[in-house]
Chains A and B, each alone.
Chain A
Amino acid sequence: MFMNNHELSGAPEELQTKTEWDNLSEEVEFSESSEKSSDSLDFIEENYGDKIDALVFNACFDGGDKTNPDHYVTSTLLDEALTNEEQIQMIDGLARTQKVDRVYSEKIKDFITEKMEHAPSEFLEELRDDPFMRKRHADAIAGRGDGDLKEDERILYELFTRADEDFYESEEARSLLGDEDYLTNRYQSVFNQLEEMTKKGEAKVDRNGLSNNLSSILNSIADKNLATVEELIHDPYLRGKHFDILAAADLEGVGVSKELYDLWHVDSEFFDSYEYNSRLEQRAHENPDIYEKRGVEDIDEVINEALEKISMRDYEEVLSAYEKDLRKGDELLFAKLLPILGLDKNPPKFEYGKSGGGESGCYIRHEHRMVVCEELIRDKIVKAGGAPDTERKMLFGLIKRREVGAEAFEHMNVVAHELWHAHQWAGEGVSEEQRKKYQENFVYYMKGRNDYDAYRAQLIEREAWAFGGRVEAIARFVRKEGELR
């Protein structure tokens, strides 16, 4: 729980009346004596230890900086797992024992201790209604009205926007949102960012003060009733919903650019957040045809339809190109697959690059770009005990020929695999129903390093693995046949 210093001030108060808290506390026999204090903590640990660990830990990183946890706790998460009585007991145990497990923030301990000492009745009332003081946190942020939120405030703001959306429906929130100065300042910050982008030549500003790109994107979103343009521009509290809007726009085929993701701070870190991954889990549950582990029967038809268009001659030509040079082989395979995959009118960019997370290749949909990580492919083969494909010279060094070995075949697999992703996102000849499934999976995607099995099971990867794998297998067969002749 993040507390600003000014919230810790307040005059001490006497406890005037017996409160419900006290009654409850008596029931569980907490005591302030040092002898019993460890029993209280043990009681908490024994009965709620796992729940607390899971909740506090998860909440700590919900939107927060993972490398410097400052322990944000949301009442929403607690409400789901602990009853009110359990929550009160937990806090009481922490406060009265004054012994806090290292999982819990020192700030929680200090804050609770101070309040229990100086303003116990008021504090207990607040705790019963809202154990983790979410309204006070939102007040601190919303009431500031001084333009761009500082980084820690932005994190906290986003945390509460996500976790407590119904708070913003309340009377209290409405009065805060009515603060014209605050809204104006937030609106101004959107334009500040647009100005920056304009200076860098990344956007053009039209008379209405919006870039051409943003205008058309926002209008598209508004046309599809995902949100009104006014909502998108004027309501800063919509920020917590921005990913949903962008995802919905993507799924509607609106063609949202990376620009808008960047503008609304839906950056790569978001895809490592608790929020994104909990939604992913939910959608996986709702869409078993996309995420459930299954064989290849349901995808055979669509894969084979494409494979049948690649002739033996195509394979032989590609293999000959790989004999000359890895990149020449890649280039030719890429060129041959484009029309087969409905990408000849809209081919993706093809680049070589470094791997970001251990992948041999990748397709970046918002840039319609595929990357082959040739260094990593080579390193993996060597580390696994193999050898990179060798080159030999013939005719007194005038002709160079490469072995078409593990390296070349892996290149073929990766090129075919990533091009299949490009086909799924942007290729022609894909049915509407299928396109929607692909889009859903692109937006809600299981990463390999999080769960390798789930990564392999999802639809877009099952297909790409099948296509790339079969291209490689057929190429190997053709090469073998060639050697036998």
Chain B
Amino acid sequence: MSEKGIIREYLVIEKHLDPFAAETFVKKFLKHNDILKEFLTVIETGKIPENGVKSGDWDAKTLSEKLPHLEVQNVYEFLVGLRDDPESYLVYIAEGAPIR
């Protein structure tokens, strides 16, 4: 299976995202191969690595510690977001990224 296929399958079967959302999610990774590779490792091992890929000052480990309620796919969404739209995502992090 392709890397994108693995991610899609994980998001739908394990994380119960709908297939369309999973597809949209995968597209976000296309410009960030290093983040994609790390997410694949997380899927395989079930663990977020220490000292992983960075987006600014943040990596997946520090993000998940700061925002413990975030699901793992959202942690990686944030890593991508911190590169593509740092202004917004830094605000979300400062607010604690709640869902109301």
Contact = CB atoms under 8 A, between A and B. Distances in A.
Interface of A: 49-50, 53-54, 57-58, 60-62, 66-67, 69, 101-103, 272-274, 276-278, 280-281, 293, 357-362, 380, 383-384, 410, 413-414, 417-418, 447-453, 455-456, 464-465, 468
A406 to B, nearest CB: 10
B74 interface: yes
Given A358-B99, A453-B77, A66 B16 contact: yes
Contacts of B20: 58, 274, 277-278, 280-281
A468 B100 contact: yes
B48 interface: no
Contacts, number: 114
28 contacts: A50-B4, A54-B4, A61-B12, A66-B16, A103-B1, A277-B20, A293-B88, A357-B99, A359-B99, A360-B100, A361-B100, A380-B68, A380-B96, A384-B96, A418-B100, A449-B73, A450-B17, A451-B21, A451-B25, A452-B74, A452-B78, A452-B81, A452-B92, A453-B88, A453-B89, A453-B92, A464-B100, A465-B100
Contact of A277 (B21, B68, B85): B21
Contact of A358 (B9, B69, B92): B69
Q: From DSSP, what is the main secondary structure of chain B's interface residues?
A: helix
A283 B13 CA distance: 26
A417 B95 CA distance: 15
Interface in B1-55: 1-2, 4-5, 8-9, 12-13, 16-21, 23-25
Contacts of B73: 449
A383 B8 contact: no
Contacts of A60: 19
B96 to A, nearest CB: 6
A398 to B, nearest CB: 36
Interface residues of B, number: 36
Contacts of A53: 1-2, 4-5, 8
Among the interface residues A62, A272, A447, which one has the most CB atoms of the partner chain B within 10 A?
A: A272
Contacts of A384: 66-68, 96
A62 B19 contact: yes
Contacts of A49: 2
A413 B69 contact: no
Contacts of B77: 451-453
A11 B77 CA distance: 54
B33 to A, nearest CB: 15
Given A417-B100, A451-B25, 5 more contacts: A53-B1, A53-B5, A60-B19, A272-B18, A456-B88
